[in-house]
Structure 1
Amino acid sequence: MKPILPGLLRSTDAASIHRNRFIIAMIVTLACVLELLDTSIVNVAVPHMMGTLGATLDEITWVSIGYVVANVIVLPISGFLANQFGRRNYLAMSILVFTFASWACGNAHSLGELVFWRIIQGLGGGGLIATAQATLFEVFPPKEIATSMAIFGIGIMFGPSLGPTVGGWLTEAYSWPWIFYINLPLGAAALLLVLTYVPDSAHRRIAKSVDYPGLLLLALGVGTLQLMLERGEKQDWFESTEIIAYTIISFISLFVFVIRQLEIDHPIVNLRILHDRQYSVGLIFTFFLGAALFSTVFLFPVYAQTLIGFDAFQTGMIILPSALAAAFTMPVAAKLLARGVPARLVITVGAFIFMYAMWGHHLFTTESGQDDFFWPLLMRGFGLGLVFMPLNNLTLAAIAPQEIPDATGIYNLTRQLGGSVGIALSATLLTKFENSKRASLVSHLASDNDAMAERLSIFTQLFQQKGHAASMAGQKAYALIDGQVNKQAMMLAFSDLFLLFGLAICLLLPLLLWMNKPPRMAKATEVSH
């Protein structure tokens, strides 16, 4: 009789691992989708959580901040933890913590309780992405690395995009705790499959000692840096003593941490891999790619819901084709690399497609609708799909197999921090651009402007016809025009920001000149580890 779970009885030799490699890719990608889904799924349920928990808007933001801060603390040490506990055990433990914390979040009865369990959930999910990526680099032979990264990239793109859609539907159809309960069956399935199929690393190196001071410095440095980025816009940046304190603590902690990690024999994060020029240049590129990816994901929903009037679910459905396009494009990029097309050429084409998509976003107006959004969003997905996967492979091209866990941890942390910087920068620039555009528009609306006088007269008459006194009708007419000016100023600000992020990716292309080592799949003759 065949066993129900044949993977549990499998051998762990290279042939068995190679045979199950695509199953392993699907399993670790599922874990990544779970983790990324929870970075954005909470946002649409904020009003409902505020009502249930009696929290203010400023207080409820800690539900998201706590999760993201915990994530970025764990990311760079995921390689160290995988080595200490064993990769399969660490993945399983992370999924178990994440899933249990999801249940606890759904059962939270106070804001403090919810924030605490969101932090635990973030600690559990933080290492999943880097560990998944390291697993794929070891399980797949060099010639199939591009294919594995395409599968992995689908999860990276889908997770944040699905969050608003799934969160909006669950919140409206059921209640906000279900945005956490949805993780329970998926987490249980992922845990069982990891224990069944995912092997331990053949390159595992257990540290003889644990650098606890370094761990504390990293947690302080990266945690306060993320807090600064999350809270900066609300606190008016360096006008706030809170933000200044975060900045000082972050700078000192990270400075001492870097010095310490370069000097001790058993660092928790191997920063010596930064000596590889291609890897370091790739980190710069992925930082700005993360900024562009997360910023456009952040900006478009704000634009669609604020100026167009869509709800979260509608916005999520409009964004979904972009994620589907990225998912479709990554396997195409993998095929191109496998056929010998230079990775730098694929990235360049993807960057220009992304720029074209951002030009389409630049042309959006306050009257735009779903038909206007479809092609620019679709092209955005195509562009990012062509950039994301080849950049992964190029960046890690020269990293030794035993150093891949550390390299993927730093790589994913860099993309995450790039996204946080991009969102913080977007929020700040949106306000500054909006104020600038408003001032420019108002300068053309002087009282001696004939068009302004005519429109003011028309609006005043309309309000008078509705029964308002002349003085009140005049005030309402001015208020109506002021609202239109504010709306148009915000639209112009969004338009400029979309174009700015498109240009930023194209301006990074000269960095590819320093990334001349071919991807791992193209330079090795071995077929498996």
Structure 2
Amino acid sequence: MSQPAAAAPASPPPLQGGQLVLATIAVALATFMTVLDSSIANVAIPTISGNLGASVDQGTWVITVFAAANAVSIPLTGWLTQRIGQIKLFVGAILAFVVASWLCGIAPTLPILLLARVLQGAVAGPLIPLSQAILLGSYPKHKSSTALALWAMTATVGPIAGPLLGGWITDSYSWAWIFFVNIPVGIFAAGVTWSIYRHRETQTKRLPIDVVGLGLLIAWVASLQIMLDKGKDLDWFNSPTIVILGLSAVISFAFFLVWELTAENPIVDIRLFGQRNFLGGTVAISIAYGVFFGNFVLLPQWMQEYLNYRSVDAGLVTAPLGVFAVILAPIMGRVLPRSDARIIATFAFIGFAIVFYMRSKYLIEIDTWHLVLPTLLQGIPMAMFFVPLTAIILSGQPPHRIPAAAGLSNFVRVFCGAVGTSLAGNAWNNRTVLHHVRLTEQASVDNPLFNQQIASTQSLLQLNTQSSHALFDFTVNTQAAMMGLNDIFYVSAIIFLLIIPLIWITRPAKGGGGADAAGAH
């Protein structure tokens, strides 16, 4: 008992003046860089796919493998921090992220790019939780809410800047520069952070690592993610490869559960799911994030493929997502301590449902304003989403369990983002095929009405028969894709409403829990 008491006074004092400002900027830039890379590639997927000789569906792996690798590395943050030290791990992760970004930019083929993105996602895992911990240690206790508000504003700028910056870079220069842009930012953030914080390093100690648990975690996550990404190309369970991947995912997940429940030092504390607040909050935030992120990837892809939007135009349409999120983030920091987090989260899910219902009414003749409006409004529930649910998840946790709870909830959320992207892409493809079949049921040379339509097109546009059929096929493909996407939006709206009861199985979370929870995020 005497050892912790002696260690307490060793905590370095808060930073002050210009040093605090510079440190905040450096740490925030590392956060911004990480968040940016989860969305900057969204609008560039069609260009990357075309340049590397891959389909757009294969191009989305650039997003999913990053998220999956990022999810796996998050639970290791606590162990790595105690082995290496908070500052060394943070600076090392930034520099590794810079190297991985450079490898992404020079990748000549899709497989090499995917390997680089796996590395990039893995080393990015510690950056988000450590950036929050470092900022909280830099500010006085009574200004912790200010520190978290600054962090939240930086994190929410990513959804604004990511698609916009990614689209502009892709159209003006090359898709490779969406990764190269991390190099100067990362070097600056690492240099400033090290110069200010190198004498504020945390204590280290040697702890055992759950090697078996980590291996099983990687096995089931990788098997499941590859199965979801490759399933459509290999005709799902008609392929022996998909069957093997599915069995591998199920078996390794089963062994993972048994091992983690019995291990002395588990890499993931699954027992946390026995708590109502952790279970309801984590499942709710993870499903919601998976639905949100999956749609966030599909929207610019559809605009570029079927509405002929340039990458930068698709970025401009999706950029307003973060406007209200940035404006309302500081307000949420003041409102949450005096409110029931469950009520705020409920309104957030209702807001998401309204936005996705609005999108389910899209038409192929849609104008830019009607694309922008739901995206702009979506920023409102975005601001009411993460912090209240995180407060619910971590409320009532003893201090020594907060890091484990934050790590596990983040792992589930980020992994659901990767799974949601894969499932949304597959669902869109399946619904598009279904609508295409229905729309062409009467498109036969034996149908006089169809022949009459083709003849009218030939006469009006001065086309030959082959060109008329090609135009008809293009029109049907565009309409089918629109109808398929509307189905995804409509189902997404329903999902947000259906997961609201998960919030209400939890107990009320008020006051400082919000700040503390966010800090452990």
TM-score above 0.5, yes or no: yes
CA distance in 2, matches of 1:421, 1:116: 18
Counterpart contact for 1:229–1:420, Cα < 8 Å: no
- Cα pair distance change 1:248/1:56, threshold 3 Å: same
Aligned length: 507
Counterpart contact for 1:230–1:420, Cα < 8 Å: no
Counterpart contact for 1:146–1:521, Cα < 8 Å: no
Alignment-derived partner of residue 292 in structure 1 = 291
CA distance in 2, matches of 1:135, 1:299: 35
- Cα pair distance change 1:241/1:476, threshold 3 Å: same
- Cα pair distance change 1:33/1:248, threshold 3 Å: farther
CA distance in 2, matches of 1:368, 1:400: 51
Alignment-derived partner of residue 415 in structure 2 = 417
CA distance in 1, matches of 2:313, 2:101: 26
CA RMSD in angstroms, aligned pairs only: 3.6
- Cα pair distance change 1:273/1:206, threshold 3 Å: farther
Alignment-derived partner of residue 385 in structure 1 = 383
Alignment-derived partner of residue 489 in structure 1 = 480
Matched, 1:480 2:471: yes
Alignment-derived partner of residue 119 in structure 1 = 118
CA distance in 2, matches of 1:170, 1:226: 29
Alignment-derived partner of residue 353 in structure 1 = 351
CA distance in 1, matches of 2:49, 2:432: 28
CA distance in 1, matches of 2:469, 2:297: 32
Offset, 1:107: 4.5
Counterpart contact for 1:73–1:223, Cα < 8 Å: no
**What amino acid maps onto 1:406 in structure 2?**
A
- Deviations 1:480-509, CA, capped at 9 Å, x for gaps: 333322222221111121121122112111
Q: Which runs of 5+ in 1 are unaligned?
A: 1-10
Matched, 1:363 2:366: no
CA distance in 2, matches of 1:72, 1:522: 24
Indicate the SS of the match to 1:371: helix
CA distance in 1, matches of 2:297, 2:23: 31
- Cα pair distance change 1:55/1:61, threshold 3 Å: farther
Matched, 1:455 2:449: no
- In structure 2, which of residues 487, 492, 498 is the aligned counterpart of residue 501 of structure 1? 492
Indicate the SS of the match to 2:508: coil
**What amino acid maps onto 2:488 in structure 1?**
L
- Deviations 1:110-164, CA, capped at 9 Å, x for gaps: 6665554433322221222233345567777888766655544444444355333
* Same amino acid, percent of matched pairs: 28
Indicate the SS of the match to 1:514: coil
CA distance in 1, matches of 2:488, 2:285: 19
Offset, 1:210: 2.3
- Cα pair distance change 1:37/1:233, threshold 3 Å: farther
Counterpart contact for 2:223–2:249, Cα < 8 Å: yes
Counterpart contact for 2:231–2:242, Cα < 8 Å: yes
Alignment of 1:188-227 (within 5 A): 188-195=187-194, 196-197=196-197, 206=205, 208-227=207-226
Counterpart contact for 2:64–2:418, Cα < 8 Å: no
Alignment of 1:510-529 (within 5 A): 510-519=501-510, 521=512
CA distance in 2, matches of 1:145, 1:276: 27
- Which has the higher mean CA deviation after the structures are superposed, 286-295 or 60-69? 60-69
**What amino acid maps onto 2:482 in structure 1?**
M
Offset, 1:51: 7.7
Offset, 1:312: 1.3
CA distance in 2, matches of 1:250, 1:199: 44
Counterpart contact for 2:390–2:514, Cα < 8 Å: no
**What amino acid maps onto 2:214 in structure 1?**
L
- Cα pair distance change 1:479/1:170, threshold 3 Å: closer
**What amino acid maps onto 2:130 in structure 1?**
T
Alignment-derived partner of residue 269 in structure 1 = 268
- In structure 2, which of residues 425, 428, 437 is the aligned counterpart of residue 427 of structure 1? 425
- Which has the higher mean CA deviation after the structures are superposed, 112-121 or 359-368? 112-121
Offset, 1:301: 0.9
Counterpart contact for 1:72–1:416, Cα < 8 Å: yes
Offset, 1:97: 1.0
- Deviations 1:234-258, CA, capped at 9 Å, x for gaps: 3333233222222222222232223
CA distance in 1, matches of 2:445, 2:210: 69
Alignment-derived partner of residue 342 in structure 2 = 344
Indicate the SS of the match to 1:187: helix
- Deviations 1:385-410, CA, capped at 9 Å, x for gaps: 21222112221112222323222222
Indicate the SS of the match to 2:397: coil
Counterpart contact for 2:31–2:128, Cα < 8 Å: yes
Offset, 1:378: 0.9
Offset, 1:368: 0.8
- Which has the higher mean CA deviation after the structures are superposed, 215-224 or 503-512? 215-224
Alignment-derived partner of residue 86 in structure 1 = 85
CA distance in 2, matches of 1:437, 1:59: 22
Offset, 1:78: 1.6
Counterpart contact for 2:68–2:415, Cα < 8 Å: no
Q: Which runs of 5+ in 2 are unaligned?
A: 1-8
CA distance in 2, matches of 1:417, 1:457: 52
**What amino acid maps onto 1:159 in structure 2?**
G
**What amino acid maps onto 1:387 in structure 2?**
F
- Deviations 1:342-362, CA, capped at 9 Å, x for gaps: 212211222222222112211
Counterpart contact for 1:149–1:392, Cα < 8 Å: no
**What amino acid maps onto 2:164 in structure 1?**
T
CA distance in 1, matches of 2:169, 2:486: 32
CA distance in 2, matches of 1:385, 1:198: 34
- Cα pair distance change 1:370/1:399, threshold 3 Å: same
Alignment-derived partner of residue 315 in structure 2 = 316
**What amino acid maps onto 1:364 in structure 2?**
Y
Offset, 1:278: 0.4
CA distance in 2, matches of 1:436, 1:14: 62
